[in-house]
Amino acid sequence: LVTNGGHQDLSFLLSFKAYNPNNAKSLATWVGPNPCSGSWAGLRCSRGRVAGVFLDNAGLAGSVAPLLRLTQLRVLAVRGNSLSGPLPPLDNSTNPTLRHLLLSHNDLTGPLNLSLPSLVTLKAEHNGFHGGLRAVRVPMVRRFNVSMNMLAGEIPGSLSGFPSSSFAGNLGLCGTPLPRCVHAFDALEDVAQSPIAAADISNGRLSKFSLAALLATGIGNAVLITASLAISVAMFIYMRRKLRSQTKDEAASSRAGLCFEDEDKIIMRNTNDEEKPCAQKSGALVRFEGGEELRLESLLKASAEVLGKGVSGSTYKAVLEDGIVAAVKRLSALQFPAGGRSGRAFDRHMRLVGALRHRHVVSLRGYCSSNGERLLVYDHLPNGSLQSLLQLQGNGERRLGWAAKKSVLFGAAQGLSYIHTAGMAHGNVKPSNILLDERGAACVSECGLMSYAAAGIVQQQQQQQPRCPPELMFNGRERGGGWRGYAAPELQAAPGARATQEADVYSFGMVLLEVVTAGKGSGEEEEGEGEETMGMVRIGVLCTAEAPEERPRMAQVLAMMSEFM
């Protein structure tokens, strides 16, 4: 957005550039009034605002703080530079859109003070961060690494599910998944929170000040402990510096390439063609209507952001060189074993799915299947899923009004009815597979995938699904005697059984009941809502009949629903 005062992001980018006046090769293109003109290297824009900064291994120095003032920033990837100084405290008011923070292999210092409910990735390994992890509140984080820093103190329970490698090589982190904490380390965390003490520690000495602080924290009587800590700290710093200089060289030498690597899905890694999925055959990408522009090479080079991981695999938002944005699903090799079903049958099935075109069905634009690797390329829908809407409603962050509920359900019903009319079954109807397009219209995604999943996936899905939400409890009991997630009872009884249209109707009914009853009891009813709610609940109950043959067809469901539209 270029306003009278200039582009809103310009001044922050120029402040960052100013740290690198002599060594700004990588920022040489940062000239002119509009960072979103397309000529500024390392930036990705969305709706005229800077949404991504990709400057890994770019030889940059200075503070990262100005970049964190970009208010629409979603991804900050500045790994393998020489950035220094502290991170400012980050929270939802300063960085509401930030999802991926990739700061590894720099010289950043100071405490980690992050309260970002939507952050998905935090990579901060190989820096000089100090203090504890108490102020790291990132409930949605899926990738997390703070190893090789100066951190100390107990690992909070919210982070204890990550492996020990995420915390290794710090000054004194303790607690699950690392060994149990002992008292001295707690005191050390308090000391390390002090910037002066931490500076002393990182300079390789425990000064009088930090010793005084140690004394003040209640372990001063343990002279022995202090002395041994001082020795440990000195050894730690020596080893760490040695390791950092080695790994920095390694990091600098690994550049570009594939985005779909195993653990670090959005890390660019040194790759050769052998390692690239689908790279074996140049013609391995099958393209469907609307996907003619897709090129395998640009797909593999695309910068990718993790959208989420489900039972069937992981989904990425991929921004291709030419600006095409796609959602790429990498099927789990476990659930979709290459040898499990014949490649030809998979191809046949994908071609059927690729031919589906409807305004309430997410289009499959292409796929590639080679060497045991399967990537599916869909349109990327920018407005999240019904699941995220329900979560926001549940957290009280957003109210899903009655009109919006009806519109989402009606859109999904139309999409599903179309799929059934085409003679297929969806197989995995649930809120995370109902996405919202740019206009907010509901679109059904991932049609037919479950037909190819390995036996047992339905069971696994059930384990991952939530317990019965209170809204679905009838007289204190769960509906039908037990919560079954979204999958029809006949599928649960026979794991590996083929998806059917009747089972889709059941799942849709469960989604419908969940949406209709979401937020009920808040007292904020719209006019006519009560009566319509009852009508919709009746439809939901019909759909979720125990016996598949008693359930209505999707076309009938649609006809019943249209009375309320």
Closest CA to 461 of 434, 482, 432: 432
CB of 551 to ligand ATP, least distance (A): 22
Instruction: Give yes or no for residue 311 binding ligand ATP (CB under 6 A).
Output: yes
**Candidate ranges 37-45, 97-105, 339-347, 429-437; the one touching ligand ATP (CB under 6 A):** 429-437
Query: How many residues in the chain?
Result: 565
Instruction: Give yes or no for residue 353 binding ligand ATP (CB under 6 A).
Output: no
Tokens representing residue 376 in the block: 């599916």
State the virtual CA torsion across 332, 321, 16, 83 in degrees, nearest 10. 40
Instruction: Give yes or no for residue 121 binding ligand ATP (CB under 6 A).
Output: no
Instruction: Give yes or no for residue 362 binding ligand ATP (CB under 6 A).
Output: yes
User: 79 or 265: whose CB is closer to ligand ATP?
Assistant: 265
Would you say 329 is a known binding-site residue?
Answer: yes
Q: How far apart are CA 394 and CA 255, in angstroms?
A: 42
What one-letter code names the amino acid at 255? Answer: R
Q: Please list every residue from 499 through 558 that binds ligand ATP, using CB under 6 A.
A: none
User: 89 or 340: whose CB is closer to ligand ATP?
Assistant: 340
- Within 13 A of 448's CA, how many CA atoms are on the CB side? 22
Instruction: Give yes or no for residue 200 binding ligand ATP (CB under 6 A).
Output: no
How crowded is residue 108: how many other Cβ atoms within 10 Å of its Cβ? Answer: 24
Q: Please list every residue from 437 through 496 that binds ligand ATP, using CB under 6 A.
A: 445-446
Q: How far apart are CA 343 and CA 355, in angstroms?
A: 18
CB of 119 to ligand ATP, least distance (A): 15
Identify the residue whose tokens are 């690392």. 178
**Candidate ranges 64-72, 76-84, 305-313, 495-503; the one touching ligand ATP (CB under 6 A):** 305-313
185 touches 174 (CB < 8 A)? yes
User: Which of 307, 324, 503, 561 touches ligand ATP by CB under 6 A?
Assistant: 307
Instruction: Give yes or no for residue 327 binding ligand ATP (CB under 6 A).
Output: yes
Instruction: Give yes or no for residue 378 binding ligand ATP (CB under 6 A).
Output: yes
Q: How far apart are CA 310 and CA 329, in angstroms?
A: 10
Instruction: Give yes or no for residue 12 binding ligand ATP (CB under 6 A).
Output: no
User: 437 or 471: whose CB is closer to ligand ATP?
Assistant: 437
CB of 353 to ligand ATP, least distance (A): 13
User: Which of 149, 193, 432, 501 touches ligand ATP by CB under 6 A?
Assistant: 432
DSSP class of 513: H
Q: How far apart are CA 461 and CA 134, in angstroms?
A: 33
User: Which of 121, 145, 433, 451 touches ligand ATP by CB under 6 A?
Assistant: 433
Comparing every residue's Cβ against ligand ATP, the nearest one is 310
Q: What are the C-alpha distances in Å from 189 to residues 44, 115, 132, 139, 314?
A: 38, 19, 6, 22, 37
CB of 129 to ligand ATP, least distance (A): 30
User: 79 or 317: whose CB is closer to ligand ATP?
Assistant: 317
> What's CA 98's distance to the chain center, in Å?
11
76 touches 98 (CB < 8 A)? yes
Q: How far apart are CA 67 and CA 41, in angstroms?
A: 14
CB of 385 to ligand ATP, least distance (A): 3
How crowded is residue 221: how many other Cβ atoms within 10 Å of its Cβ? Answer: 9
**Candidate ranges 7-15, 310-318, 347-355, 477-485; the one touching ligand ATP (CB under 6 A):** 310-318
User: 364 or 554: whose CB is closer to ligand ATP?
Assistant: 364
User: 69 or 309: whose CB is closer to ligand ATP?
Assistant: 309
Q: How far apart are the first and last CA of the chain?
A: 38
- For residue 177, say if its preceding peptide bond is cis, omega within 30 degrees of 0: yes
In the complex, which residues of this chain contact ligand ATP (CB under 6 A)?
Answer: 307-315, 327, 329, 362, 378-381, 385, 428, 432-433, 435, 445-446
Binding-site entries for ATP: 329
